[in-house]
C-alpha cells in the first residue's frame, strides 16, 4: 500500500520543517467559529500563511482544559448548531493538503464510539487527534482504535508529568504535545522557564517530534521556542485574531500566521 | 445475599464506570490525593480528630426515629434519618470536614470548591473557617443571582465567591471552572468536591466520608425497630447522601432506592434524571450516566431543587443501577413540592426540596409498600429552611396567575 498513514504524514511534516532548519508551525481553530462554512477557507489560509499542521477543534459544551477565548469560540460554534457529522462531511470534501488533526474532548468521541470515530476521522482525511481530557492512563482503547486506522493519538505532557508517564510515551504516535504551563489554554505574556527541562525529559523518553503549546501569542515567542522544540502550536491568540476580524476570517488567519512563520524561518 | 465486590478497583473503576478523565496536568495531583487519603484514612490520629469534629462540631450522631403520624397515615413503618439536624443544615458538612482535614494534613493552604445552590459552598466555607484556611467558591452567575442569601452566607464565613460566566452559568460550569483553577494552581490548592462525582479517588473518598450516615443509621434502626428496614430511600443529585446511607447496607437484604429529579416530567426534557435516561458518557472526570445530546454535548438539567440540578450522577450509582443492586426512580417538581408540605404537616419537619423527592416516592408508592409490609428508612438529607423563599415565591406566583 503506497498511501501514507496519518502518523507518517505528521512525521513527514516535522521532517520537512527540520530539513529547512526550522520548527514546524501548528495552528488551531475551532470548527464552526466564526461559522462552519468558512472552515475550508481557514484551512487554505493557514496553509498559505505557512502552517505545517492544522488542528481543528470539534466544539464541546464543557471544555475544561480551555481558557476563556477557546471556551467562547466553542460555545458560539455550538450556539450556531455546529454538528459533528457536518464537520466530518465538510473535511471529507477538502483537497488533501498538510496534515490535519482533531482536537476535542472524550465525550463527543465516546458518543460516536471509539472505533467508528477512528474510521470516520480517517475517511475525513484526518491524520490524528488530541483529546486533552483523556490522559495516558485512560487512553489505550482509543489508541488501539486509532492505530488500526493509521491515525495518531497525540499524547500531552505537562510540567507536572511523572517519569511513569514519560516511559509510557514509548508507544505514542505522531508527536508529543508539551503543555508549556500548569493551566488552561490562553495567550500569555511569558512562557514558563521550566519548558526547556520538560522538553529534554521528553526527548530522553521518546524519539518523536515535540511541539510546545498553551500560551504562545507572538512571533518572538514562537521564534524563541522554535529553538527549544520541533514545533510550536498557536490556538488562543489566533482565535483572538479571528474574533477581532470576523468580517474576513481567512485574512485574519493568514495575517496572524504569516509573521509567525517568518519568525520561525529566520530562527 | 451475595457479598458485593469491593469497588472501586485500583484504577478507580466501578465496573465500567468512574476512572480519571482529567487533563494530564492533574494526574499527579489525583495520585497524590489518593496516596494521602489511603494513608490518613487508616491513621488513628486522623480518625479520632474527624470523629471529634463530627461529634462536637457537626452534632453527630444525628437522630433516627419512627415517623409516627406518617406511618399511621401510610399504613406501614417509616423511619427518618435526620441529616437536616447537622450544623449548616445538610449532610454536605460530613464530607467537607473530612476533606478539609485531609487538606490540612497535605499542607495545602488554599481550598477551592464548586457549588450550585450554595449548600456545598456554605459547608466548605464553614470547614475552611474552622481550620483557618482560605476558601474560594466557584458558582455559576445564574446561581449567584438565584441564591443570593447563600452567597452572603459564604462571605460572612470569610470565603470568596467567584461568579462563573461560561456555558449555562450553573453548577456544571462552576465545576468546570473549579477544575480549571485546580489545573492552574495544582501545587498549592486542594479541590473539595461536593458529591460522589469527579475523577478517582473522589467518588470513593466522598462516599467514605458520607458513610457515617449509614453506619449510624444501621445501628439506630436495628435498635429502634428490632430489625433491618426493607427499603432505604434517598434523593440522588450527584448522589452523596444516597451513597452515604446505602453503603453500610450494601450486603444486607435491604432494597436500596435512589430518587432522581424528574423536574417538569421526563418527557418534557426539563429534568435531572441521568440514570432514568441512561446514556453513558464522561463529564467532570468520570464515566457515568449523563444528560447529553446525539453529539455528546452536555444538556442543561432542571429541577425545582437546586441540589439535584446536575446533568450527571456519581459512577457508583451508575454501577449499582447497572448491577441491579439499587433501583432508581424519578419524582417530579410537583410531587416533591407536595411532599415538602406533607412532611411538615405530619411530622413537624420541613425537609429540603431535595430530600422531599425521597419522601414523595414513598407517598407515591404507598399502596405497593403497604402490601409488601414495608419498613422504610428515608434519608432526610437536609432541612427546608433554605427553600422556604423558593416555595413561597412559587406559590405566590401560582396564586397570582
Ligand atoms: C439537602 C441536600 N440533599 C441532597 C443534595 C444532593 O446532593 P447528593 O446527591 O450528593 O446527596 C443536596 C445538594 O446540594 C442537598 O443540599
Contacts for B221 with CB less than 8 Å, ≥ 6 apart: B64, B79, B228, B229, B377
- Alpha-carbon gap: A157 to the closest alpha carbon of chain B (Å): 6
Q: What value does the mean pLDDT take over residues B115-126?
A: 96
Please say if the pLDDT value at position B115 is more than 50.
Answer: yes
Q: Note whether B183 contacts A184, CB cutoff 8 Å.
A: yes
Q: What is the 3-state secondary structure (H, E, C) of chain B?
A: CCCCCCCCCCCCEECCEECCCCCHHHHHHHHHHHHHHHHHCCCHHHHHHHHHHHHHHHCCCCCEEECHHHHHHHCCEEEEEEHHHCHHHECHHHHHHHHHHHHHHCCCCEEEEEECCCHHHHHHHHHHHHHCCEEEEEEEHHHHHHCHHHHHHHHHCCCEEEEECCCCCCHHHHHHHHHHHHHHCCCCEEEECCCCCCCCCHHHHHHHHHCHHHHHHHHHHHHHHCCCCCEEEEECCCCHHHHHHHHHHCCCCCEEEEEEEEECCHHHCCCCCHHHHCEEEEECCEEEEECECCCCCECCCCCCCHHHCCCECCHHHHHHHHHCCEEEEEEEHHHHHHHHHHHHHHHCCCECHHHHHHHHHHHHCHHHHHHCCCEEEEEECEEHHHHHHHHHHHHHHHHHC
Q: What is the share, in percent, of chain B residues with pLDDT greater than 70?
A: 99
Distance A64 CA to ligand 1 centre (A): 24
Q: What angle do CA A131, A137, A141 make, to 5 degrees?
A: 70
Q: Reply yes or no on whether the pLDDT at B390 is more than 50.
A: yes
Least confident of A34-38, B12-16, B167-171, B272-276: B167-171
Cα B14 from Cα B269, distance rounded (Å): 28
What residues are in contact with ligand 1 under a 6 Å CB criterion?
Answer: B 90, 92, 117, 119-120, 195, 235-242, 307-308, 352, 354-355, 381-382
Q: Residues B339-348: what's their mean pLDDT?
A: 98
CB contact under 8 A, A110 and B284: no
Instruction: Report the residue of B180, B281, B290, B315 to disrupt the A interface, i.e. the one with the largest count of A CBs within 10 Å.
Output: B180
**Interface touch A63/B29, C-beta < 8 Å:** no
Gap from B114 CA to chain A (nearest CA, Å): 14
pLDDT for B1 equals: 59
Q: Which is more confident, A2 or B2? A: B2
Query: Which stretch of A76-90, B139-153, B354-368 has the lowest confidence by average pLDDT?
Result: B139-153
Catalytic residue list contains B114: yes
Q: Which of B81, B92, B172, B386 is catalytic?
A: B92
Whether the Cβ atoms of residue A264 and residue A27 lie closer than 8 Å to each other: no
* Average pLDDT over every residue of B236-244: 98
The answer, yes or no, to whether residue B18 has pLDDT greater than 70, is: yes
Q: Is the ipTM of this complex over 0.85?
A: yes
**Which residue of B lies nearest to A76 if distances are taken between CA atoms?**
B167
Nearest to A107 among B11, B183, B283 (CB): B283
How many Å lie between the centroid of ligand 1 and the Cα of residue A58?
33
pLDDT band at B383 (very low <50, low <70, confident <90, very high): very high
Residues B135-142, mean pLDDT to the nearest whole number: 96
Residues B243/B210, Cβ–Cβ less than 8 Å: yes
Q: Which of B284, B305, B328, B339 for mutating ligand 1's site (highest number of atoms within 8 Å of CB)?
A: B305
What mean pLDDT value characterizes chain B?
96
User: What average pLDDT does the segment B164-175 reach?
Assistant: 93
Measured in degrees and rounded to the nearest 5, phi and psi for residue A28 equal -120, 135
Our CA angle for B99, B103, B108, nearest 5°, is 150
| B129-to-B84, B113, B154, B160 alpha-carbon distances in Å | 21, 14, 10, 12
Gap between the Cα atoms of B20 and B27, Å rounded: 8
Task: Give the pLDDT confidence score for residue A1 in this predicted structure.
Answer: 38
Residue listed under C-alpha cell 470515530: A117
With CB atoms and an 8 Å threshold, state whether B295 touches A83.
yes
Of all protein residues, whose CA lies closest to atom 15 belonging to ligand 1? B307
User: For residue range B50-100, what is the model confidence (pLDDT) as tens digits?
Assistant: 999 999 999 999 999 999 999 999 999 999 999 999 999 999 999 999 999
Cα of B354 from ligand 1 centre, angstroms? 6
Q: Do B284 and A64 touch (CB under 8 A)?
A: yes
pTM of the model: 0.97
Going residue by residue through chain A, which has 267 residues, state the pLDDT in tens, using 9 for 90 and above: 347 899 999 999 999 999 999 999 999 999 999 999 999 999 999 999 999 999 999 999 999 999 999 999 999 999 999 999 999 999 999 999 999 999 999 999 999 999 999 999 999 999 999 999 999 999 999 999 999 999 999 999 999 999 999 999 998 999 999 998 888 888 777 666 789 999 999 999 999 999 999 889 999 999 999 999 999 999 999 999 999 999 999 999 999 999 999 999 997
By most ligand atoms within 8 Å of CB, the mutation choice from B85, B288, B307, B388 for ligand 1 is: B307
- Taking the centre of ligand 1 as the mean of its atom positions, its distance from the CA of residue B120, in whole angstroms, is 8
> How many Å lie between the centroid of ligand 1 and the Cα of residue B381?
7
Q: By the CB < 8 Å criterion, does A182 face chain B?
A: yes
**What is the C-alpha to C-alpha distance for residues B195 and B114, in angstroms, rounded to an integer?**
10
The DSSP annotation for chain A comes to --SPPHHHHHHHHHHHHHHTTS-EEEEEEETTSS-STTHHHHHHHHHHHT-SEEEEE---S--TT--HHHHHHHHHHHHTT--HHHHHHHHHTSPP-S-EEEE--HHHHHHH-HHHHHHHHHHTT--EEE-TTS-GGG-HHHHHHHHHTT-EE--EE-TT--HHHHHHGGG--S-EEEE-SSS-S---SS--TTHHHHHHHHHHH--S-EEEESS--SHHHHHHHHTTSSEEEE-HHHHHHHHHTTTSHHHHHHHHHHHHHHHHHH-
Write down the pLDDT at residue B320. 98
Q: For residue B124, give the nearest of B214, B116, B380 by alpha carbon.
A: B116
The Cα–Cα gap between A33 and A39 comes to 8
pLDDT band, very low/low/confident/very high, at B400 (cuts 50, 70, 90): low
Q: If you measure from the C-alpha of residue A173 to the centroid of ligand 1, how many angstroms do you get, rounded to a whole number?
A: 44
**Contact call for B180 and A184, based on CB within 8 A:** yes
Name the residue among B20, B21, B296 with its Cβ closest to that of A111. Answer: B296
Average pLDDT over residues B292-314: 96
CB contact under 8 Å between A182 and B27, yes or no, is no
pLDDT number for residue B3: 85
pLDDT score at B399: 67
Choice from B62, B91, B115 to test ligand 1 binding pocket (greatest atom count within 8 A of CB) = B91
Residues of A recognised as catalytic: 55, 66
- The torsion defined by the Cα of B92, B95, B97 and B103, in degrees rounded to 10, comes to -130
Residues of chain B with C-beta less than 8 angstroms from the C-beta of A179: 23-25
Contacts of residue B186 in chain A, CB cutoff 8 Å? 160, 182
Give chain A positions within 8 Å (CB) of B180.
Answer: 64-65, 67, 183-184
pLDDT tier, B401 (very low <50, low <70, confident <90, very high otherwise): very low
pLDDT tens-place string over residues B215-225: 999 999 999 99
Amino acid at each position: 500500500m503506497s498511501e501514507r498513514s496519518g502518523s507518517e504524514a505528521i512525521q513527514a511534516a516535522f521532517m520537512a520543517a527540520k530539513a529547512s532548519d526550522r520548527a514546524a508551525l501548528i495552528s488551531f481553530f475551532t470548527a464552526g467559529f466564526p461559522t462552519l462554512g468558512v472552515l475550508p477557507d481557514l484551512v487554505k489560509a493557514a496553509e498559505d500563511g505557512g502552517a505545517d499542521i492544522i488542528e481543528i477543534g470539534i466544539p464541546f459544551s464543557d471544555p475544561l482544559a480551555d481558557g476563556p477565548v477557546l471556551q467562547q469560540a466553542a460555545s458560539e460554534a455550538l450556539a450556531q448548531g455546529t454538528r459533528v457529522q457536518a464537520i466530518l462531511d465538510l473535511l471529507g470534501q477538502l483537497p488533501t493538503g498538510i496534515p490535519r488533526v482533531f482536537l476535542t474532548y472524550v465525550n463527543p468521541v465516546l458518543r460516536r464510539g471509539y472505533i467508528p470515530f477512528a474510521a470516520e476521522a480517517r475517511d475525513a482525511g484526518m491524520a490524528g487527534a488530541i483529546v486533552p481530557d483523556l490522559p495516558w492512563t485512560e487512553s489505550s482503547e482509543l489508541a488501539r482504535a486509532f492505530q488500526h486506522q493509521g491515525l495518531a493519538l497525540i499524547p500531552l505532557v505537562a510540567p507536572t508529568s511523572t517519569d511513569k508517564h514519560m516511559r509510557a510515551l514509548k508507544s505514542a504516535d505522531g508527536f508529543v504535545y508539551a503543555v508549556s504551563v500548569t493551566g488552561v489554554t490562553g495567550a500569555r505574556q511569558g512562557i514558563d522557564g521550566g519548558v526547556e527541562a520538560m522538553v529534554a525529559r521528553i526527548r530522553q523518553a521518546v524519539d518523536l517530534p515535540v511541539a510546545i503549546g498553551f500560551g504562545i501569542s507572538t512571533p518572538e515567542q514562537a521564534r524563541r521556542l522554535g529553538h527549544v522544540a520541533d514545533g510550536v502550536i498557536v490556538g488562543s491568540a489566533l482565535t483572538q485574531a479571528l474574533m477581532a476580524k470576523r468580517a474576513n476570517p481567512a485574512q485574519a488567519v493568514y495575517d496572524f500566521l504569516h509573521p509567525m512563520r517568518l519568525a520561525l524561518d529566520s530562527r | 445475599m451475595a457479598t458485593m465486590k469491593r469497588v472501586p478497583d485500583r484504577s478507580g473503576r466501578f465496573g465500567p464506570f468512574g476512572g480519571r478523565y482529567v487533563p494530564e496536568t492533574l494526574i499527579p495531583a489525583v495520585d497524590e490525593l489518593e496516596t494521602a487519603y489511603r494513608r490518613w484514612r487508616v491513621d488513628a490520629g486522623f480518625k479520632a480528630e474527624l470523629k471529634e469534629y463530627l461529634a462536637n462540631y457537626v452534632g453527630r450522631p444525628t437522630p433516627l426515629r419512627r415517623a409516627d403520624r406518617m406511618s399511621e397515615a401510610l399504613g406501614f413503618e417509616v423511619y427518618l434519618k435526620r441529616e437536616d439536624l447537622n450544623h449548616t443544615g445538610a449532610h454536605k458538612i460530613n464530607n467537607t470536614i473530612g476533606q478539609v482535614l485531609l487538606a490540612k494534613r497535605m499542607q495545602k493552604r488554599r481550598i477551592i470548591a464548586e457549588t450550585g445552590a450554595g449548600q456545598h459552598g456554605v459547608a466548605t466555607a464553614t470547614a475552611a473557617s474552622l481550620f483557618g484556611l482560605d476558601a474560594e467558591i466557584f458558582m455559576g452567575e445564574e446561581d449567584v443571582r438565584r441564591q443570593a442569601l447563600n452567597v452572603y452566607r459564604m462571605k460572612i464565613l470569610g470565603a470568596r465567591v467567584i461568579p462563573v460566566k461560561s456555558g449555562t452559568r450553573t453548577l456544571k460550569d462552576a465545576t468546570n471552572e473549579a477544575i480549571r483553577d485546580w489545573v492552574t494552581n495544582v501545587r498549592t490548592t486542594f479541590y473539595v468536591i461536593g458529591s460522589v462525582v469527579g475523577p478517582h479517588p473522589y467518588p470513593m473518598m466522598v462516599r467514605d466520608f458520607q458513610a457515617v450516615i449509614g453506619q449510624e443509621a444501621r445501628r439506630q434502626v436495628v435498635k429502634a425497630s428490632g430489625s433491618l428496614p426493607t427499603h432505604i430511600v434517598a434523593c440522588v443529585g450527584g448522589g452523596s447522601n444516597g451513597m452515604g446511607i446505602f453503603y453500610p447496607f450494601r450486603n444486607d437484604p435491604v432494597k436500596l432506592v435512589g430518587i432522581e429529579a424528574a423536574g417538569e416530567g421526563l418527557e418534557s426534557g426539563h429534568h435531572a434524571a441521568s440514570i432514568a435516561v441512561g446514556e453513558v458518557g464522561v463529564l467532570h472526570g468520570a464515566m457515568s450516566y449523563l444528560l447529553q445530546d446525539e453529539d455528546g454535548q452536555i444538556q442543561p438539567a432542571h429541577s425545582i431543587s437546586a441540589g439535584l440540578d446536575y446533568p450527571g450522577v456519581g459512577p457508583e450509582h451508575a454501577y449499582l443501577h447497572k448491577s441491579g443492586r439499587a433501583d432508581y426512580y424519578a419524582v417530579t417538581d410537583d410531587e416533591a413540592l407536595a411532599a415538602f408540605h406533607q412532611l411538615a404537616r405530619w411530622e413537624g419537619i420541613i425537609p429540603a426540596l431535595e430530600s422531599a423527592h425521597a419522601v414523595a416516592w414513598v407517598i407515591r408508592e404507598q399502596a405497593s409498600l403497604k402490601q409488601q409490609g414495608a419498613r422504610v428508612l428515608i434519608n432526610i438529607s437536609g432541612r427546608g429552611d433554605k427553600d422556604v423563599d423558593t416555595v413561597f415565591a412559587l406559590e405566590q406566583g401560582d396564586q397570582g396567575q
